[in-house]
């Protein structure tokens, strides 16, 4: 079986007056990611992991953030499109692993829902998707809940 791995990262500032949408679900938090789209940094990192593995253009080329078409876009639709583009080239998700670093919303209470949400979008079993939250102990530019930073890897198989 031919396998490929892809890596994606993203960071979004957390600001008042935005819904806190991460991993395709809305978390109860007074701030949300600033962005041209809904700012879902988890799904954006996953898109780059998938396009990276499948040899496709990156998220900024596929869905330009100066294109009015993607203003306030639902990132779930962008991820589903990326998965579809990969499958046209014969690449399918095997598993994905995500680390969400933030001192903003608590991730742990929402891990199960987020894993299920991402798995649905990727078209895989829930246990093929993992999500971990990290606070980084106030040691970075994320201190005080200013931002959310995400790393994602995705393994894909060809068929």
Contact between 48 and Mg ion by CB under 5 A: the answer reads no
10 binds Mg ion (CB under 5 A): yes
Using the minimum distance from each CB to Mg ion, give the nearer residue, 60 or 109.
60
For 127, other C-beta atoms within 10 Å of its C-beta total 9
- For the window 95-124, what string marks contact with Mg ion as x by the rule CB under 5 A? ------------------------------
CB of 136 to Mg ion, least distance (A): 19
Let me know: does 130 contact 154? Beta carbons within 8 Å.
no
Strand ranges inside 28-84, DSSP E: 31-33
Closest CA to 42 of 22, 15, 26, 70: 22
Site membership for Mg ion, residue 44 (CB under 5 A): yes
Q: Which is nearer to Mg ion, 10 or 103 (CB)?
A: 10
CB-based contacts of 147: which residues, under 8 Å, 6+ apart?
Answer: 11, 12, 13, 14, 102, 104, 141
Judged by beta carbon, residue 117 or residue 149, the one nearer Mg ion is 149
> Rule CB under 5 A: which residues touch Mg ion?
10, 44
């Amino acid at each position: 079986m031919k396998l490929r791995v892809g890596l994606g990262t993203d960071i979004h500032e957390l600001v008042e007056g935005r819904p806190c949408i991460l991993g395709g679900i809305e978390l109860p938090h007074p701030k949300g990611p600033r962005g041209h789209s809904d700012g879902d940094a988890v799904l954006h990192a996953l898109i780059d992991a998938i396009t990276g593995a499948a040899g496709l253009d990156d998220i900024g080329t596929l869905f330009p953030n100066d294109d009015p078409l993607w203003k306030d876009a639902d990132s779930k639709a962008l991820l589903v499109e990326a998965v579809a583009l990969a499958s046209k080239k014969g690449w399918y998700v095997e598993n994905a692993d995500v680390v969400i670093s933030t001192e903003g919303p608590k991730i742990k209470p929402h891990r199960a829902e987020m894993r299920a949400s991402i798995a649905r979008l990727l078209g895989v079993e829930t246990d093929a998707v993992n999500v971990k939250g990290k606070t980084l102990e106030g040691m970075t530019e994320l201190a005080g809940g200013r931002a959310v930073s995400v790393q994602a890897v995705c393994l894909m198989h060809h068929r």
